[in-house]
Amino acid sequence: MAYYVMAQDGGTFAAFDSIISETHSETCMVTAHNVETGAPITDHVKPDPSLLSLVLVVTNTPIESDPDQGRGGPTVVDLYTPTYAPPFDGTPGALFREAAGFLSGPRPQTTKVEVFAQPSPIDRIAETEAALIVLKATGRQCQVVTLSRVYQDMVIVRWELARTGPGSAQFSLDLQQIRTVSTATTAAPQPVEPKGAPKRNMGAQTPKTPQDNETLLSKTELKAIVDKFTGLLGGG
């Protein structure tokens, strides 16, 4: 089985030959405050994004059709299989073995076997490294295929490459899920009634502006007139 980390919008992907380990993490954040009895507990628990850690292997000589590019295929070759011939020691048992070998004919030294062959040398390790560099640098959302499940909307937060030879490499990946939501544009609703305080009927109002030859007096002038009459009345 091949293991894939591929961009959901297409174009960039990395395929691996085998898996050493996969770790799936699901956590949540729970409130530290007291919750009233009878309140919905789900209102106080926040699930965290899914986390995934993988340790995978890539080789330049896969044992089956190249899973990421489909290069190569099975072919039949002669596999040399030498047989052990014990030394002749002159014992009765050795005589019987020699006689049995003479009667059965010569033993075949090669065996026909089917193996995977590539048309030309390839560097799948370099191809995988280049794909991971692009996926991490661009923050692409990826689909990840593992033994346990298939993930969507995963992004690479860390990856490491360990090599001990030219023909194989070990990749370690940490991925985190991104939550996505859908948005839509809608028209603003019309208010049922006009906003603000309703108008009140105050009845007929006296005009507050001078009309014809009438002149409005100020408060100071009115007070002076009232004081003058008050003084006259008080003085007899």
In this prediction, residue 13 has a pLDDT band, given cuts at 50, 70 and 90, of confident
All domains in the chain, ordered by first residue: 1-28+45-71+120-179 (2.40.30), 73-117 (no CATH)
With 0-12 / 13-18 / 19 or more C-beta atoms within 10 angstroms meaning exposed / middle / buried, residue 71 is: middle
Query: For 19-57, how does the pLDDT look when each residue is reduced to its tens digit (9 = 90+)?
Result: 899 999 999 999 888 888 887 887 888 999 999 999 999
Query: For 117-168, how does the pLDDT look when each residue is reduced to its tens digit (9 = 90+)?
Result: 666 777 889 989 999 999 999 999 999 988 888 999 999 999 999 988 888 8
Question: What is the C-alpha radius of gyration for the chain, rounded to an integer number of angstroms?
Answer: 46
Residue 152 main-chain phi, psi, to 5 deg? -125, 155
Q: What is the pLDDT of residue 173?
A: 95
Query: For 50-104, how does the pLDDT look when each residue is reduced to its tens digit (9 = 90+)?
Result: 999 999 999 887 766 555 566 666 677 777 776 656 665 667 666 666 666 655 5
Residues 81, 19: Cα–Cα separation, whole Å = 32
Q: Name the residue type at position 209.
A: T
Residues 1, 17: Cα–Cα separation, whole Å = 7
